[in-house]
Chain A
Amino acid sequence: MNPTKPRCNFNSPSLFRSLTKPKSTQIQNINILFFIFIYLFIELMLSESVFCLLTEDLLIRILDRVNSDRKSLRLVCKEFHRVESTTRKTIRILRIEFLLGLLQKYCNIESLDLSVCPRIDDGAVSVLLSHGSVNWTRRIKRLVLSRATGLGYVGLEMLIRACPLLEAVDVSHCCGYGDREASALSCAVRLRELNMDKCLGVTDIGLAKIAVGCSKLESLSLKWCLEISDLGIDLLSKKCLELKFLDVSYLKVTSESLRSIASLLKLEVFIMVGCYLVDDVGLRFLEKGCPLLKAIDVSRCNCVSPSGLLSVISGHEGLEQMDARYCLSELSAPLINGLKNLNHLNIIRINGVRVSDFILQIIGTNCKSLVELGLSKCIGVTNMGIMQVVSGCGNLKTLDLTCCRSITDVAISTIANSCPNLACLKLESCDMVTEVGLYQLGLSCLMLEELDLTDCSGVNDIALKYISRCSELVRLKLGLCTNISDIGLAHIACNCTKLTELDLYRCVRIGDDGLAALATGCNKLTMLNLSYCNRMTDTGLKCISNLGELSDLELRAIPNITSIGIKAVAINCKRLANLDLKHCEKINDSGFWALAFYAQNLLQINMSYCNVSDHVLCLLMSNLKRLQDAKLVHLTNVTVQGLELALRSCCGRIKKVKLQSSLRFSISSEILETFNARGCKIRWD
């Protein structure tokens, strides 16, 4: 039987065969209308994006490659939200209110950073770990708890025991940490990396627990753990044989420790800055030990002499990095000759040492693979010496000539012509450098990313015009360059569009016009220092507020800016994290009110000597939930009661406060004790 064919074409005849039975005309018309609707509906379905065929694994492959804010992808639909939640690997939590909810959603995270989350303490951790199913800990490999001063050993142990796969922990700057916390850390059997910088209470006992418990340790940093002695280091060297990276800076260890450390056969990087009890005897132990040593740092070790350093070099021809800043007074001839054998040497930093043209010539002839040379504050650096070094080391990428005051344009021109790959050049206080040398720099060193011309009085607007040819510039320091003005700044703003850090400290001739040019040209700026630029007014500040990425802004002692400018910055610079308004006396309550309301990302603020009143200060301290560091010295309109109220409102969240010392005995001791108990430090000016 032939069904009457409907007027339109589609692919499912069976569905409609039953409906096309001969009926009265009216019903047939209705049927036909019905078919038309169905047809249009199907058409609509098929014309939707072909990505209906997208499976989850394809979606993951695409989403993994999106670099920018992946968070916006979570809002697309429930499917995307679920996919993003299961594939997110790292998370850095800023607000404690969302902590529990977020951790329950993200069960596959491998790295958790709680260092900027305020109020993490034992109670918070026990809530996190007891609430419902604790899936989120099962894959965690890295925990960052730096500066989490509120967390004690109980909470720390709970957290570490809950994460079976833990490989890296960072508890640096938790100054109250001691042996009980070290014992908690030793529960992490798989631990490979541990950073305990500034855990001031850790002694040999704590270190021993870690050495015994975490035998797979590969990287350990113990800077400033002053209670540790040779005994602890000896045990460490016997138990943690996999160590590749060890930092014992500022510890009161002696040469005996180096005898133990020399037995660490896999050690590659050894840092001992400021170990003033270690001398050449200790370095001689290293000569035959640590066969894989690649980098050594003996900066600020007063008792080390060139012969000690020579022993280290003679034993390790594969050495790549040598740091001896501010410890040697001179380089002896044998040491210089010893450098000849180091064919892989990439980095030499000998700040503060006395050099000569001859020494620099030897370095230039023998260290051909040199990539970084640090001669900051060295005595005896002359044009001739520099020319000899750079003509031999054409691969130089970083050159530090801070305070090498004899350097002139001739040296700069030679540097420019010999080192086309130069990426970082530091010329702080090199007064004799002028636009002539910088012209060559702008011509030849087009890969230049960082340039420091602080306190170079020879830099003027024409020099800035030449420098602006280096369009890859990312960090530029022009502090104390009093001869530059808006014209020079406009050149930089025009061409250096990748600039993220700019320092114009005390550049008093910079005004609103220059800032307007900067705001249009360099929209990637994140750090800007305009302290003491006293020509600046609210107009300039309004232009600055257009820099959407700005996170660090220093505006010390600028007399003409008022609340109008600050309000614009507070509203528009959403990422503002660090603000310095010391001595800006014309800003009144309405400006600080705007900050309290809009600048929700502020981490640090300096309001010393500003005219804020009691209630606005209290509002500020209670509203800014991310504030961690506040400097509140000499607030003349704030009473003691007002200050106490403000401190109470941020207690437990904030980590550092600076107050004037005259108030030390006026503020109630109860508040001071609470602050101490919650891990917040008060500094007295």
Chain B
Amino acid sequence: MAQEASSSTSSKTISLKTGDGEIFEIEASAAKQMKTVQRLIDDLGDDITIPLHNVFSKELPKIIEYYKKDITGEITKDFEAEFVKDLNDDEVKVLFLAANYLDANKLFEFLSQNIADRLESKSVEYVRKYFGVENDFTPEEESKLREERAWSFRGIKEDE
């Protein structure tokens, strides 16, 4: 009997409702990794559907897929490479913000590294477009900064 009870808690599923009204099932152990969800479960109990207003049905399946692999301990470099391979820039950004909202630490670290990799060695214009920010420097300020950047310093990261 005890064994049955323990197996039922480990395979217990939680229902999550996205901002656009769709419902997804996720294992309790995976839900534990998403601290926001866990907090909601602690407050509201685990038999009702947890509402997630800021996550939508486009992202949540991907996140669930990641944590399904995580609880079985199967996250490898190959899986991670595969995970982000087909995502375009916007999708990664949306996933990143969703991971932040859900307080899903492992996914968050992984995605922030991925975004940093995408920005590696890219031009200033590219970074502006990526983040959707406008250049608010005056031409004089910008030329002064460029001169500073070219000739003034180097940051030491490892062994320069």
A interface, CB within 8 angstroms of B? 48-54, 58, 61-81, 88, 90-95, 97-98, 101-102, 111, 113, 600
Contact = CB atoms under 8 A, between A and B. Distances in A.
B157 interface: yes
Contacts of A79: 133
8 contacts: A50-B93, A51-B93, A67-B120, A75-B149, A76-B133, A77-B137, A79-B133, A80-B133
Task: Give the secondary structure class of B's interface.
Answer: helix
B112 A61 contact: yes
A78 B135 CA distance: 8
Interface in B102-160: 108, 112-113, 115-117, 119-124, 127-128, 130-137, 142, 145-146, 148-149, 151-157, 160
Contact of B120 (A50, A54, A68, A101): A68
Given A98-B148, A111-B156, A76 B131 contact: yes
Contact of B145 (A53, A69, A74, A94): A74
Contacts of B137: 75, 77-78
Contacts of A74: 145, 149
A65 B93 contact: no
A511 B100 CA distance: 57
Contacts of A52: 132
B156 A94 contact: no
B90 interface: yes
B116 A76 contact: no
A54 B130 CA distance: 12
A69 B145 CA distance: 14
Nearest to A84: B155
Q: For chain B, which range describes its interface: under 10, 10 to 19, 20 to 34, or 35 or more residues?
A: 35 or more
A65 B146 contact: no
B41 interface: no
Given A80-B133, A92-B153, A94-B154, 20 more contacts: A50-B93, A50-B94, A51-B133, A66-B116, A67-B157, A68-B120, A69-B121, A71-B155, A72-B122, A72-B124, A73-B119, A74-B145, A76-B128, A80-B127, A90-B157, A95-B151, A95-B152, A97-B152, A98-B148, A102-B152
Given A50-B90, A94-B152, A62 B157 contact: no
A54 B133 CA distance: 11
Contact of B151 (A88, A92, A600): A600
Nearest to A47: B132
A65 B133 contact: no
B112 A65 contact: yes
Given A65-B112, A69-B121, A77 B135 contact: yes
B23 interface: no
Nearest to B109: A61
A49 B132 contact: yes
Contacts of B97: 50, 53-54, 58
A52 B130 CA distance: 11
Nearest to A96: B152
A95 B147 CA distance: 11
A113 B156 contact: yes
A49 B131 contact: yes
A383 B134 CA distance: 68
B124 A88 contact: no
A526 to B, nearest CB: 12
B77 to A, nearest CB: 16
Nearest to B133: A77
Contacts of A58: 96-97, 100
A65 B118 CA distance: 11
Contacts of B124: 72-73, 75-76
B155 A66 contact: no
A545 B22 CA distance: 59
Contacts of B113: 65
Nearest to B135: A77
Contacts of A64: 116
Nearest to B158: A67
Contacts of A111: 156
Given A75-B124, A76-B127, A76-B128, A62 B149 contact: no
B146 A75 contact: yes
A169 to B, nearest CB: 16
Contacts of B90: 49-50
Given A66-B119, A67-B120, A600-B151, A54 B131 contact: yes
Given A94-B154, A98-B152, A75 B93 contact: no
Given A50-B94, A75-B145, A76-B128, A92 B134 contact: no
Nearest to A111: B156
Contacts of A90: 155-157
Nearest to A68: B121
A301 B152 CA distance: 44
B59 to A, nearest CB: 11
Contacts of B142: 75
Interface in B59-91: 90
A93 B153 CA distance: 4
A77 B93 contact: no
Contacts of B94: 50
Contacts of A98: 148, 151-153
Contact of B149 (A48, A53, A71, A92): A71
B136 to A, nearest CB: 5
B127 A73 contact: yes
Contact of A48 (B96, B117, B127, B132): B132
A76 B90 CA distance: 19
A94 B137 CA distance: 25
Given A75-B124, A80-B133, A102-B152, A49 B160 contact: no
A248 to B, nearest CB: 25
B54 to A, nearest CB: 9
Nearest to B148: A98
Contacts of A113: 156
A63 B122 CA distance: 13
Contact of B155 (A49, A50, A65, A92): A92
B33 to A, nearest CB: 18
A51 B131 contact: yes
Contacts of A75: 124, 137, 142, 145-146, 149
A192 B68 CA distance: 47
A79 B128 CA distance: 11
A88 B153 CA distance: 12
List the 3 closest pairs (A to B, CB-CB), nearest first. Answer: A49-B132, A65-B116, A98-B152
A33 B121 CA distance: 46
Nearest to B122: A72
A66 B120 contact: yes
A101 B121 contact: no
A560 B150 CA distance: 34
B35 to A, nearest CB: 16
B99 to A, nearest CB: 10
B19 to A, nearest CB: 13
A68 B93 CA distance: 20
A246 to B, nearest CB: 23
A101 to B, nearest CB: 7
Nearest to A99: B152
A102 B144 CA distance: 12
B100 to A, nearest CB: 6
Contacts of A54: 97, 131
Contacts of B127: 72-73, 76, 80
A49 B156 contact: no
Contacts of A51: 93, 130-133
Nearest to B108: A61
A24 B124 CA distance: 52
Nearest to B142: A75
Name the residue in A65, A67, A74, A75 with the highest tally of chain B Cβ atoms < 10 Å from its Cβ.
Answer: A75
